[in-house]
Amino acid sequence: MNILVIDDEANIRKTLALWLKSHGRQVCQAGDVQAALAESRARMFEMAFLDLRLGADNGLELIPKLLADSPWMKIVVMTAYSSIDTAVQAMRLGAFDYIAKPFNPEQIELVVGRVEATLAMQNRIDCLKADLQSLHPEAVFSSANPKMQRTLEMARQVADSEAVVLLRGESGTGKTMLARAIHNWSRRAEFPLGIISCPTLTPELLSSELFGHMKGAFTGAVRDSAGRVAACDHGTLFLDEIGDLPPAIQPQLLRFIQDHEYERVGGTETLRADVRIIAATNMDLEEAVRQKKFREDLFYRLNVFQLEIPPLRERPEDIETLALDMLLFFAKSNHKVLNGFSPEAMAAMRSYGWPGNLRELRNAVERGAILATGDTVELAHLPEALKQESGPLSFRENLTLEEVEERYIRHVVATAPSLQQAAEILGIDQATLWRKRKAYGI
């Protein structure tokens, strides 16, 4: 925890700072209002000890200024017994607590402990709020599929261990949801869960997001940042699409997994954090290792306990249950009463290949819930790919080879994240795909 000590008496300031440092806290000092504001704007502090008498300045006037810059900061005012009323006034202005001078180490540890407990509770509340905001209907894990049942059983068994977990599966199979479930089933559930998507940031920003940075470490770094690792101390960090982790970051992550040690970007001080790592990928990491794109030692550190999530096309027995759960979710959020799917709609969903997995199923059900005019979702309410005789390649009617090709290209273009990826799936280049789309009016 980073603490700012503000007192115009150098002896008190230095003694308090020395004691806090000896107990593992990071401490900065300020002897007046201007220095305190400069420190608070340059660095991130979770806590401040503030003397109410700062020479000619009034410490009370500093409280709202500190909180304006750092609303999360817990300010503990230091006051003499004769000015308890002033301390109460300070708490009305937003101070967290007060401590009377002279104080002893036991009193300091007690108030610091209260701050740490409060911050931990706030982190937990923030995580719960994030869970609610990102709640998806597929977040409830149950399955009638034997392979998925084994995956869930092993996930529950590994949850309470400290092992690194590697989740493998196609895009959209629910890797993030399973990571969240493993965290919630573990002893770390009362502490934060952090989620980082590895492909979305540059190497420099990803390193900063993971491990934090010091002021001035790079353009735009106007103040210190603790990073996700520090924020998730005693909790879990989920690294999505770990196969896209830049080579420059791989040795940093390897060191953290092995030793729980790291430095912030631009910093020299070695820091420690107790964080469990869960990673996920839809990539063939073994092949990436062979091609020297992924460190072999990092792969083996991540691959301690591997869980494979089967694609939705291999879980046909789960389609109806998942779709109905999602329908109830979207019916409620759209203020509708929906009882289910028509036989034709359900048959289409059962026979469809679901290349986008749970994510695609979720989108299809949401569309159906929005378009349904009665209490049942009909086939007409589902996406085009499902209307074509329960999928792009149904052979219940006689089709020419050209018609089969057109249907399949329409299906891939509709479900692939980009035209480049659609071309890769089809095994053709983008120029050929462009010509075929033009020929078929796609």
Residue 346 and residue 204 share a domain: no
What is the pLDDT at residue 434? 82
What is the pLDDT at residue 180? 93
What is the pLDDT at residue 196? 92
Residue closest to 23 by CA, chosen among 6, 39, 5, 1: 1
Does residue 249 sit within a domain? yes
What is the pLDDT at residue 49? 95
CATH number of the domain residue 335 falls in: 1.10.8.60
- In 76-188, where does DSSP find H-type helix? 84-92, 105-133, 146-159, 175-185
Tokens of 190: 């009362």
Residue 316 and residue 302 share a domain: no
What is the pLDDT at residue 392? 47
Q: What is the CB neighbour count within 10 angstroms for residue 225?
A: 21
Residue 429 and residue 351 share a domain: no
* Burial degree of 236 (CB within 10 A; 0-12, 13-18, 19+): buried
Domain that holds residue 327: 312-391
Residues of the chain falling short of pLDDT 70: 81-84, 124, 126-140, 388-398, 414-415, 417
**Sequence-separated (6 or more) residues with CB below 8 Å from residue 82:** none
Does residue 132 sit within a domain? no
Does residue 356 sit within a domain? yes
* Burial degree of 375 (CB within 10 A; 0-12, 13-18, 19+): exposed
Number of continuous H segments (helices) and E segments (strands) in the chain = 19, 16
CATH number of the domain residue 109 falls in: 3.40.50.2300
Residue 231 and residue 196 share a domain: yes
Residue 249 and residue 155 share a domain: yes
Residue 256 and residue 363 share a domain: no
Which of 277, 310, 343 lies at the terminal end of a domain, its last residue?
Answer: 310
Distances (CA, A) of 313 to 57, 351, 404, 426: 70, 9, 20, 19
What is the pLDDT at residue 391? 47
Q: What percent of the chain has pLDDT over 70?
A: 92
Does residue 37 sit within a domain? yes
What is the pLDDT at residue 414? 67
